[in-house]
Amino acid sequence: MITARGVGWLLLILIAWGFLAYSGLVQLQLILMILLLLPLLSVGSLLWLRTRLKIDESIRQTLIRRKDQTSLVVRLTLRSRQVVGLAELLIARPGKDGRTERVKRLTALTQRGETTVVLPLSGHHRGLFRVGLLRLKCRDLFGLVLLPFYRCQPDRLEPFLTVLPRPYTFDPLQDLASLLQQNQLQKAWKPGSELDAIANIRQQQPGDALKRAHWKLSARLDELMIREFENPLQQDVLVLCDLNRAQADKLPWASYGDYFSDSVAWFTEVILRSASAVRLVFWPQEGRREARAGSLEQQLDCLMLLSALAETGDWNPSHLVAAEWERASDCQVFILVTNRLDDATSRQLTQLALSGVTVWLVMLQGSVLLPRTPNPMIRALEQAGVRICRSEFSSFRAAEKNSPENPEVQS
């Protein structure tokens, strides 16, 4: 691509050619030849340099929480002593509106050395983002042309930045935490091999590991005895996410998605802190997705799933409740996190509660507010023993405005 300076150079060549044609001076022939050869040699050397350039991209921290920062590092290694003009980089990174924004950077390439370009990346919204170099162009020594050295389609960018949700403590959830802790104290025990407390001692059987042998008792009885250890059974909590776009049609979708995933992340953390296990499920258009965790150390799987949380597809929410409970009927606690509620779903939750299941209904309201008591549907749920917890997007948005993001990473 020719630059503005290149256009001026062409005009200069045309003027020299015009004077030569008019006057016929031999000196003008030499000047015209120089004007023609210099850009040709410069462009030729630039084309050769394109084969001598190596590009490496990396993200300093590929996994961050929302509102945190990291940076993209682009290393340009030029294996030549030839001088080259400024390089123009076009880089894709996550934007504040939830879409990918394109940023331009200018840099000078180091001869026979490495040039490093560092671009700050901010986790404005949770999700999985492709970031990296989209295009690299270099000017020739005289700045006459701008030639492409590298080009990549946005859907083929290799570096991925995963932005995890940041738990939103919209409610202390003391009732849920105390209920789970009380149930966990009544947990059953089964023979296992993980803990130190001995549950049973028996004779050796084929396949038993010798490290579980009780050597003192074996020496006294003159028979190899094997120890069985106590292993606590965790109670399972099923969390079903139902995100409906129609309930937030007047709100910024990226921010509302953060609100929903951050709230669920807080629920997950509360459950795991009570020593319970969690099954996190949602149903996007392409089908069911699930993540499990039994401790805070395993919470990353749930957060990764929440990073990809999408709106519920064309699935009926009441059918999802029935299908998930049938699939995980061994769970002691069922939690439905939703931003909508209809009669069919209400009846399904009521039946679960009346059958002895601990049911929680978490309503994360958007632009359409869900009904409150004395609405007959809500009253029936409460009478059946369903615990109801509410939150509104407006409160989340106010908290976001009062909570500034961390300072950007320095280059």
Q: What is the CATH number of the domain that holds 375?
A: 3.40.50.410
- Rounded Cα distance between 133 and 89, Å, is 7
DSSP letter string over 138-152?
EE-TTS-BEEEEEE-
Is there a single domain that holds both residue 178 and residue 150? Answer: no
pLDDT at 370: 63
Q: Is residue 98 part of a domain?
A: yes
Is there a single domain that holds both residue 29 and residue 157? Answer: yes
pLDDT beneath 50, residues of the chain: 188-190, 192-195, 407-411
Is there a single domain that holds both residue 140 and residue 282? Answer: no
Q: Is residue 366 part of a domain?
A: yes
Q: What is the pLDDT of residues 313-342, one digit of tens each?
A: 888 999 999 999 998 887 889 999 999 989
Look at residue 226 and give its three-state secondary structure.
strand
Is there a single domain that holds both residue 289 and residue 217? Answer: no
Residue 270: what residue type? Answer: V
pLDDT at 98: 86
Q: Is residue 410 part of a domain?
A: no
Is there a single domain that holds both residue 41 and residue 1? Answer: yes
- The runs of H, that is alpha helices, within 328-407 are 343-354, 376-383, 393-401
Q: Is residue 199 part of a domain?
A: yes
DSSP 2: B
Element containing residue 291 per DSSP (H, E): strand 289-293
Distance of CA 321 to the CA centre of its chain: 26
Contacts of residue 269, defined as CB under 8 A and 6 or more positions apart, other chains included, come to 167, 296, 299
- CA angle, residues 325, 331, 335, in degrees to nearest 5: 70
Q: Is residue 411 part of a domain?
A: no
pLDDT at 167: 94
CA dist 74 to 48, 77, 124, 125, Å? 21, 10, 22, 23
- Rounded Cα distance between 241 and 260, Å, is 9
CATH number at residue 32: 2.60.40.150
Which phi and psi (to 5°) does residue 50 adopt? -60, -30
The sheet with strand 63-65 has its strands ordered as 63-65, 160-164, 127-130
Is there a single domain that holds both residue 109 and residue 254? Answer: no
Is there a single domain that holds both residue 207 and residue 245? Answer: no
- Rounded Cα distance between 58 and 75, Å, is 9
Closest CA to 336 of 376, 285, 282: 282
Closest CA to 93 of 160, 166, 165, 164: 160
Distance of CA 224 to the CA centre of its chain: 52
Closest CA to 20 of 12, 33, 29: 29
pLDDT at 183: 66
- Rounded Cα distance between 80 and 390, Å, is 64
pLDDT at 372: 63
Is there a single domain that holds both residue 226 and residue 238? Answer: no
Q: Is residue 169 part of a domain?
A: no
pLDDT at 190: 47
- Rounded Cα distance between 66 and 182, Å, is 33
- Rounded Cα distance between 52 and 42, Å, is 15
CA max distance for the chain: 122
Q: Is residue 409 part of a domain?
A: no
pLDDT at 409: 44
CA dist 365 to 248, 300, 351, 394, Å? 8, 26, 24, 9
pLDDT at 14: 83
The strand pairing partners of 359, in sequence order, are 334
Is there a single domain that holds both residue 178 and residue 310? Answer: yes
Residue 128: what residue type? Answer: L
Residue 409: what residue type? Answer: V
What residues make up the domain containing 346?
A: 174-184+234-401
Model confidence pTM above 0.85: no
User: Rg of the chain over CA atoms, in angstroms?
Assistant: 33
pLDDT at 268: 93
